């Protein structure tokens, strides 16, 4: 039995004294202890070494009174397991020497046995759960098929992913073949995470907002929904689509447990679009954490009051930035812990 189950209560839509809080990328670059490990081990070595991944997952939990932990990993471990050789290039980020841009290249992409190719992630879950000692839930995650495709076709990060979008529009059948392979691998991956003991899974659709509402349905949501349909009987499923407020109504009709929203939508409008029935997560602008601790506390309390304390998970509208002061991150978290209804 998990001692602090606020996060799970919010996912179940239960009444709570205060909303739970965690931060996307909380086990990451803004922590000095993370940077110390970064200087010693390269990025994917940290992902692939269960002891390191578990230790990094615990770093923010030891510092702050968070209501959930999220396993340290990366969305690109899935395409790596499929034989797509991503690297993390210094000063550039994700990098693929040979992007996937032809039918033959897509046909050569494998749907792997995740136990063989991603066993290090499942071992990290076991180690992390031992360290958490049933104090708070552990979240597992994956990237959306569309977001993974963007990196596979573009070969690197991009402001607009024009190459990836052009690939889909010129070769839709090839694009759908790749998307389905990613989807099948992701479902197997997340199912195994649930079997290993995570309490919820989150799908990150970081680049869904690059698509029009119509193209989003074709190239992103229908694949995310396959994941939701497959995982919802087994676990809570949270979907976060950055810039995807236009799809909230349709997402609400799915079997998701919660929907993440970014800072470009008002809490009241997000509630309207989700028919006041959905647990929402978000939506503090990560750059706002550069404000003073006093301003952060005030804004967080206003945000909770606008969303309402029930069916709500306090979070950022995207991942925490690497240059955020530790005391400002703490102000964000403690503002939630100390929140009281008016």
Predicted pLDDT of residue 90: 83
Mean pLDDT across the chain, nearest whole number? 97
The pair of three-digit structure tokens given for residue 159, joined into one six-digit string = 């402001």
Q: How far apart are CA 166 and CA 33, in angstroms?
A: 41
Q: Answer yes or no: is pLDDT of 9 > 90.
A: yes
Question: In the predicted model, what is the mean pLDDT of residues 96-112?
Answer: 98
Predicted pLDDT of residue 91: 85
CA 16 vs. chain centroid, Å, equals 24
Determine whether the annotation assigns residue 220 to a binding site. Answer: no
List Cβ neighbours of 257 (8 Å cut-off, separation of 6 or more): 11, 12, 200, 232, 236, 237, 238, 279
Q: What is the pLDDT of residues 144-187, one digit of tens each?
A: 999 999 999 999 999 999 999 999 999 999 999 999 999 999 99
- Length of the chain equals 342
180 to 24, 56, 79: CA distances (angstroms): 26, 32, 13
Question: HSE of 223 in the Cβ direction (CA atoms, 13 Å)?
Answer: 30
The pair of three-digit structure tokens given for residue 150, joined into one six-digit string = 């963007």
Residue identified by tokens 């010693």 is 40
Determine whether the annotation assigns residue 27 to a binding site. Answer: yes
Determine whether the annotation assigns residue 29 to a binding site. Answer: yes
Question: In the predicted model, what is the mean pLDDT of residues 113-118?
Answer: 98
CA 11 vs. chain centroid, Å, equals 15
Q: What DSSP element (H or E) covers 329?
A: helix 326-337
Predicted pLDDT of residue 39: 86
Q: Answer yes or no: is pLDDT of 141 > 90.
A: yes
Determine whether the annotation assigns residue 26 to a binding site. Answer: yes
DSSP 151: H
Q: Answer yes or no: is pLDDT of 193 > 90.
A: yes
Q: Answer yes or no: is pLDDT of 254 > 90.
A: yes
The pair of three-digit structure tokens given for residue 271, joined into one six-digit string = 């509630």
CATH of region 6-337: 3.20.20.210
Predicted pLDDT of residue 13: 98
The pair of three-digit structure tokens given for residue 297, joined into one six-digit string = 């506390």
Catalytic residue set: 25, 29, 38, 74, 151
Determine whether the annotation assigns residue 206 to a binding site. Answer: yes
Predicted pLDDT of residue 98: 97
Confidence grade of residue 288 (pLDDT, cut at 50, 70, 90): very high
Q: Where are the alpha helices (DSSP H) in 239-325?
A: 248-252, 267-273, 293-307
Q: Is 66 helix (H, G, I), strand (E, B) or coil?
A: coil
Determine whether the annotation assigns residue 44 to a binding site. Answer: yes
Confidence grade of residue 342 (pLDDT, cut at 50, 70, 90): confident
């Amino acid at each position: 039995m998990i001692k602090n189950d606020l996060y799970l209560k919010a996912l179940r839509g239960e009444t709570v004294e205060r909303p739970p809080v965690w931060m996307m990328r909380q086990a990451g670059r803004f922590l000095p202890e993370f940077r110390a490990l970064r200087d010693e081990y390269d990025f994917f070595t940290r992902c692939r070494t269960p002891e390191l991944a578990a230790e990094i997952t615990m770093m923010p939990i030891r510092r702050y009174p968070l209501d959930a932990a999220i396993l340290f990993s990366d969305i690109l471990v899935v395409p790596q397991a499929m034989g797509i050789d991503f690297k993390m290039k210094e000063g550039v980020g994700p990098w693929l020497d040979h992007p996937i841009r032809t039918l033959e290249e897509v046909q050569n992409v494998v749907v792997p046995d995740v136990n063989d190719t991603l066993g290090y992630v499942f071992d990290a879950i076991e180690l992390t759960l031992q360290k958490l000692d049933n104090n708070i839930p552990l979240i597992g995650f994956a990237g959306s098929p569309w977001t993974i495709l963007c990196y596979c076709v573009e070969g690197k990060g991009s402001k607009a992913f024009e190459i990836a979008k052009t690939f889909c529009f010129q070769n839709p059948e090839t694009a759908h073949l790749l998307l389905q392979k990613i989807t099948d691998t992701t479902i197997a991956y997340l199912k195994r995470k649930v079997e290993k003991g995570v309490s919820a899974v989150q799908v990150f659709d970081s680049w869904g907002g690059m698509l029009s509402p119509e193209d989003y349905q074709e190239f992103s949501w229908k694949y995310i929904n396959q994941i939701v349909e497959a995982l919802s009987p087994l676990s809570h499923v949270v979907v976060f689509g950055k810039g995807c407020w236009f799809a909230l109504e349709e997402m609400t009709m799915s079997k998701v447990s919660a929907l993440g929203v970014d800072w470009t939508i008002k809490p009241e409008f997000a509630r309207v679009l989700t028919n006041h029935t959905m647990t929402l997560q978000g939506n503090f602008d990560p750059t706002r954490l550069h404000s003073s601790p006093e301003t952060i506390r005030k804004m967080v309390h206003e945000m909770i009051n606008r969303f309402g304390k029930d069916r709500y998970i306090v979070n950022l509208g995207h991942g925490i930035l690497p240059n955020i002061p530790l005391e400002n991150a703490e102000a964000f978290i403690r503002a939630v812990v100390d929140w009281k209804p008016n």
